[in-house]
Amino acid sequence: MAASAYASPMEKTWYCLHRMLCAMVLLFLIAPIFVVVPLSFNSVPFFTYPLPRLSLRWYQDFFLTVRWQGALYNSIFVAVSVTLLSTVLGTLAALGLSRPKFPWRTAVMTVLISPIIVPIVITAVGMYFFYADVGLLNSYAGLVLAHTTLATPFVVITVLATLTGFDHSLTRAAAGLGATPVTAFLKVTLPLILPGMISGSLFAFLTSFDEVVVTLFVAGAEQRTLPKVMFSGIREEISPTIIAAATILTLFSIVVLTTIELLRWRSERLRGIRNT
């Protein structure tokens, strides 16, 4: 948005300074991420600038090596399982919390979102000892449940935000017309909260796909996910293939976040918050 034509010189100066500060903060945040992207096209196995030649050899190594392909498959399998489970659990929790007469709403909400508040190392240690007692350590089931614990709060928050301002008289009107609770949910509530559910599921997918700390504690040798292989590679050997994998993850995250923003815009338009 441009500065007003009636703004004073001081206001115009502050307008330009404010934009410059915002651009500098944005550059400070994203520069460390994008500075490694050119290194993934380096033809030599060294992290050096300027690049001697451009090459796709590290991307070929990523897509054609059994080690990296197995890790990518494990990450996708776990992330999809976590997304399905956390979307169902988070949506049910958000629907319950959105009811006007829900008791102890603040306390229950605090407990539900605590996995993203408590330091991740403390959560990982707690999961390690608990899963060791119940026999879920070093298994796909334990890894999926651990990631679901971390991903569900994001679904709860996004769906609950979608339900803010939801007119519950619509479901009461559907019930008055003879619709069963399931029909009222499928025909009235679900279309309105669907953008929030999809946004929450995308956040859940990214949470599981990028998670490494809990994976190091809970997963075994057979559950080698992509972030775990990258972390091990950093400790054992510095290979540019790690940079290629990080570039692919970064591009994938940008696509997902853009989709989430489009869904948020659509949700606001459906609820009448945004006109166009």
238-251 tens-digit pLDDT: 777 888 888 888 88
Torsion of CA 17, 21, 22, 27, to 10 degrees: 140
| Residue 273 reports pLDDT greater than 70 | no
Per-residue pLDDT of 15-31, as tens digits, reads 889 989 999 998 888 88
Per-residue pLDDT of 260-270, as tens digits, reads 778 777 767 76
Whether the CB-CB separation of 231 and 245 falls below 8 Å is answered with: no
Other beta carbons within 10 angstroms of residue 196's beta carbon come to 25
This prediction has a pTM of 0.78
DSSP 199-247: HHHHHHHHHHHH--HHHHHH--TT---HHHHHHHHHHH---HHHHHHHH
Q: Report residue 276's pLDDT band, with 50, 70 and 90 as the boundaries.
A: low
Other beta carbons within 10 angstroms of residue 28's beta carbon come to 9
d(CA 229, CA 220): 12
d(CA 250, CA 148): 22
Q: Report residue 169's pLDDT band, with 50, 70 and 90 as the boundaries.
A: confident
Per-residue pLDDT of 175-230, as tens digits, reads 888 888 888 888 888 888 888 888 888 889 888 888 889 998 988 878 888 888 88
Per-residue pLDDT of 179-189, as tens digits, reads 888 888 888 88
